[in-house]
Amino acid sequence: MTGSHTGLTIRGTHQAAFQGILPTGRRVTVAFTAIVRVEDGKLVEEWGGLDLFDLRRQIEAVVTAGPDGR
């Protein structure tokens, strides 16, 4: 195998300050994606990350448009 990717879902409650945002007590569900490169059976590179925009939206740190686009 020369490369692969995987994803998982992380669920939790916003109970501590995160990126300067005080705890909201809101439940959140966030996608995490990992992309890895394996050579000769060894992990040689890994990239990955959370969908931080979605996480911030769920704790209401990002304002999204309403149904009327405003």
pLDDT tens digit sequence for 42-60:
889 988 999 999 999 999 8
Q: How far is CA 46 from CA 5, 35, 37, in A?
A: 9, 6, 6
Give the domain CATH number at 53: 3.10.450.50
Q: Is residue 38 in a domain?
A: yes
pLDDT given for residue 65 in this prediction:
67
Q: Is residue 66 in a domain?
A: no
Domain count across the chain:
1
CA–CA separation, 29 and 13 (whole Å): 9
Q: Is residue 70 in a domain?
A: no
- Digit-by-digit pLDDT tens for the chain (70 residues) are 456 767 889 999 999 999 889 999 999 999 999 888 888 888 899 889 999 999 999 998 876 666 776 6
Q: Is residue 39 in a domain?
A: yes
Q: Is residue 17 in a domain?
A: yes
Q: What is the pTM of this model?
A: 0.67
Residue-range definition of the domain harbouring residue 18: 4-58
Q: Is residue 67 in a domain?
A: no
